[in-house]
A = this chain, B = another copy of it.
């Protein structure tokens, strides 16, 4: 039965109408950096289908190389309701070493991010007050350093194989001294693990990946870990409501229930022949997404199952 449910959920996703290629390149003149910077913005497929839906924002460093990875991982996991759908803002480099080395330009780059880029993004797009910062290697070292300096600037922090060996482990020492680390995920390559032991915070080792090959799988695993509390395999509509209320307090904004949560309750209750609960889940889906392409079919199907019984 579990299998049937999975396949049905998959088909629902495959039937969605053509996504818009909502992607744009933004130029921003930075006073702090005294140069013009570029941001590659990927919007969720559903962004243009609504005038009100708003999204948290993932800021992806080394954005010239990694913008597609961030967009693919967030979009895939977001559409399935594994993580919230996110706007991706990827920032290509101009002078990587200058911007991301803590004793060089990092303070300025952090200022650029928080006082110039993020406000501009939040003005231009429909955003939620939740920002996530992600980097790899040197830009992951920057991410960890930024967390120690401005822990409130971002909600979540993703570090893919951070160069923690920098400056005799200076940033690592600061990281270990902090007692209040939350929403921080580190993903490490097999290569990196062989050089160091374990760390006392959320981290995962991908033994098959090297330092350079880490970002593709790393972003996927990091997002799942960072938002591990997001999805729920609930039995009832009430459980779904309670879960996303709790999450709203945690995330600091009114988190909307992903459609997939209603499908999940629907299918589970159909399997258990709990028709009233199934119908309730379908009503909630209809109230939330009245134009969902699967609504009519699901209604007919529920009616049919009910009659068969």
Contact = CB atoms under 8 A, between A and B. Distances in A.
A67 B76 CA distance: 10
A216 B7 contact: no
Contacts of A125: none
A210 B6 contact: yes
B64 A3 contact: no
A21 interface: yes
Interface in A70-84: 71-73, 75-77, 79-80, 82
A137 interface: yes
Q: How many copies does the complex hold?
A: 2
Looking at chain A's contact residues, is the secondary structure mostly helix, strand, loop, or mixed? Answer: helix
A307 to B, nearest CB: 23
A216 B72 contact: yes
A96 interface: yes
A111 interface: no
Given A68-B68, A191-B6, A14 B96 contact: yes
- Interface-central residue, A191, A195, A212, by most chain B CB under 10 Å: A212
Contacts of A256: none
Interface string A21-59: 101010000000000001010000000000000000000
Given A6-B191, A11-B96, A217-B220, A64 B18 contact: yes
A13 interface: yes
A282 B216 CA distance: 29
Task: Give the top 7 A-B pairs by smallest Cβ distance, nearest first.
Answer: A72-B72, A68-B72, A10-B212, A18-B92, A69-B72, A76-B216, A6-B211
9 contacts: A6-B191, A7-B137, A18-B38, A23-B23, A65-B79, A68-B71, A69-B72, A72-B72, A80-B212
